[in-house]
With several copies, the nearest count.
Chain A
Amino acid sequence: MNINSRAIQDSVEVLSNKKVGAYNHMVFAVGDMASHAKPGNFVAISVGGPSSSLILRRAFAIYRSSNRGAYGGTIELVVAAHGTGSKWLSERSVHERVDMVGPLGTAFGIPTEPVNALLVGGGYGSAPLFGLAEVLKARGCRVDMVLGASVAGKIYAPLEGKRSVNVMTLTTEDGSAGVKGRVTDVMPQIIERNQVEIIYSCGPMAMLEAVNQVAEGANVLHQCAVEESMACGIGVCMTCVVPMRDSAGVIKMQRSCIEGPVVDGSQVVWGSERKIAQGTWGAPQ
């Protein structure tokens, strides 16, 4: 088995930190760590400084990575200041260093043939989709994108990111940008109009579940990046599990940090937070 075989732990320098809407766009000089980063991978960062009471790393999807450039390898993140740890990270100044482990987890699967792809992101969940769009575009795919959030400021859709996207559709729950509503309100039309063959999604679990329903309804493949609370990010603690059907149809609790975060949406047993899905392997009798 190939477990995070490219992961590196390193103290990396903040090259840039800019406020973009509700988020901070941050660039780190990561050296070799960038070499093997693929769209869908994430990094895990120590937060709070030397005497921190926050003992666990925080996970962030890789927005972009680059091997070349003035600073050698770089990794870019889109950080929402959610709680104490992510707030701390978003407050780091240029030249400060943070301890980073990455790249971690599974990546989005890339079709071998050109296909029509739909990328769906919620909030900062758009981050890994732009790198994915580039790769898909380079393979000759048609790439549509739907980004949703509660309000306009929580949509992350930078200009340079749109280069590889054919049509970008925005939705907000309050109508402050794009279509008023949710991503799933606009998806069916796009799927039909563009003969979408694969959906990639990233965002809150509830959104992924709704996207999966649309995908199943339309009989389209669906790869999604799930987000469970992670204590270690490297597969050793078993906190981040998601119930998934394996090829034999058996439901097993799979680690989203290592067997994920990118998984096949049809294999996830959705809506099983706070309970063990019936028929799970080894479920209590």
Chain B
Amino acid sequence: MSEFQAFDFRTKFGSRYFPSPIFTASGCAGSGKELSQFFDLDELGAVVTKSISVKPRSGRPTPRMAETPSGMLNSIGLQGPGIDQFLEIDIPWLQSNGARVIVSISGETVEEYASLARKLRGINSLHGIEVNISCPNVENRGLVFACDPVASRAVIEAVRRNISGDYPIIAKLSPDVTDIVSIANEVVAAGADGLALINTVLGMVIDVDAKRPKLAGITGGLSGPAIRPIAVRAIYQVHKALPQIPILGMGGVTNGRDALEMIFAGASGVSVGTATFGNPSAVIKVKRELLEGLRSRGFNSLSEAIGVAHV
């Protein structure tokens, strides 16, 4: 293994190339500023922003988090300033600091997703949209979009219709479904260029002293190493069914070995979320160790390694 041998670390989602496959995970990198104290943002393949809504959101009351064995629950509730302030302040800051940006969007109705897409349509310097469909659909008894193939499809169709054809759309799926492959099929048919797998797993912790749910929001999303086997399984299943669709893998990635696992299972890129909370420079560590891991196994490019665990 020569240090000097060129390694092609690039990856591609839709029409966009990224110099490396390690991204932040939505909601786990603040506005980008906070991490830029620890490393340069252009070292990342891309920054995936926290999911932004049409209007400002206060998010949920506290407590918003509970640590669990090798994981954590969160119920942030998509706190954020709304798309207008976000486009005015956050995006320009990120881009002027060298970050490639994928904007994550979230809505409560199909029309909200459509309107977010329209707001983003003009900004060609973005590297893509990640559509977070793990949100309650107010028009259907609060049933999460991502749990319903019809609603999932409707959201992605609406986003595709309202944005130019070559704008990369990555649909982010929930693992809390009976059959993730069928949801994947729907959103790809509706125009998604890529899939982000997985969002958090619905969980809960009881405070045994207060005798009530620990989180004010009662349930929360489980993330971190605890869910990695679930994420790897989802990536493997979906890559098997849709080998040509690039997958952004995530769920408990903490080091290069974990990223390798996802790449071998079929991911074209890997997002690092919760690991950043334990280690501010986790994303850089994962990137460095993944590169080493691929080289030491004789790969010359990332693309050669994608999905090699399939038999």
Contact = CB atoms under 8 A, between A and B. Distances in A.
Contact of B56 (A53, A232, A233, A282): A282
Contact of A275 (B34, B61, B280): B61
A213 interface: no
B62 A229 contact: yes
A240 B72 CA distance: 14
Given A3-B34, A3-B37, A282-B55, A57 B277 contact: yes
A274 B61 contact: yes
Q: By DSSP majority rule, is chain B's interface helix, strand, loop, or mixed?
A: loop
Contacts of B274: 55, 231
Contacts of A237: 27-28, 30, 65, 74, 76, 277
Interface residues of A, number: 41
Interface string A235-249: 111111110000000
Interface in A190-241: 228-229, 231-241
A282 B34 contact: no
A239 B216 contact: no
A268 interface: no
A284 B108 CA distance: 12
Contacts of B304: none
Nearest to A239: B65
B79 A238 contact: yes
A281 interface: yes
A241 B59 contact: yes
Nearest to A237: B277
Contacts of B64: 229, 238-241
A273 interface: yes
Interface string B64-103: 1111011110101001111000000000000000000000
Contact of A272 (B29, B37, B57, B61): B61
Q: By DSSP majority rule, is chain A's interface helix, strand, loop, or mixed?
A: loop
A93 B310 CA distance: 43
A239 B60 CA distance: 10
B140 interface: no
A4 B225 CA distance: 27
A284 B38 CA distance: 34
Given A9-B280, A282-B82, A238 B58 contact: no
B57 A282 contact: yes
B71 A55 contact: yes
A54 B67 contact: yes
B79 A236 contact: no
A231 B56 contact: no
B230 to A, nearest CB: 16
Contact of A9 (B27, B38, B65, B277): B38
Nearest to B275: A55
A66 B65 CA distance: 34
Interface string A256-285: 001000000000000011111000111110
B61 A55 contact: no
Interface string B9-29: 000000000000000000111
Contact of B281 (A9, A231, A240, A275): A9
Nearest to A275: B61
Interface in B278-305: 278-281
A253 B67 contact: no
14 contacts: A3-B34, A57-B278, A234-B35, A234-B37, A236-B30, A237-B30, A239-B65, A241-B59, A253-B59, A273-B61, A275-B61, A276-B61, A280-B58, A282-B57
Given A9-B280, A281-B58, 16 more contacts: A1-B33, A3-B33, A4-B34, A9-B38, A46-B279, A56-B277, A231-B67, A234-B30, A236-B276, A237-B74, A239-B62, A272-B61, A273-B216, A274-B63, A275-B216, A284-B57
Q: Which 7 A-B pairs rank lowest in CB-CB distance, beginning with the nearest?
A: A282-B56, A236-B30, A232-B277, A239-B65, A235-B34, A282-B58, A282-B57
Interface of B: 27-30, 33-35, 37-38, 50, 55-67, 69-72, 74, 76, 79-82, 216, 224-225, 274-281
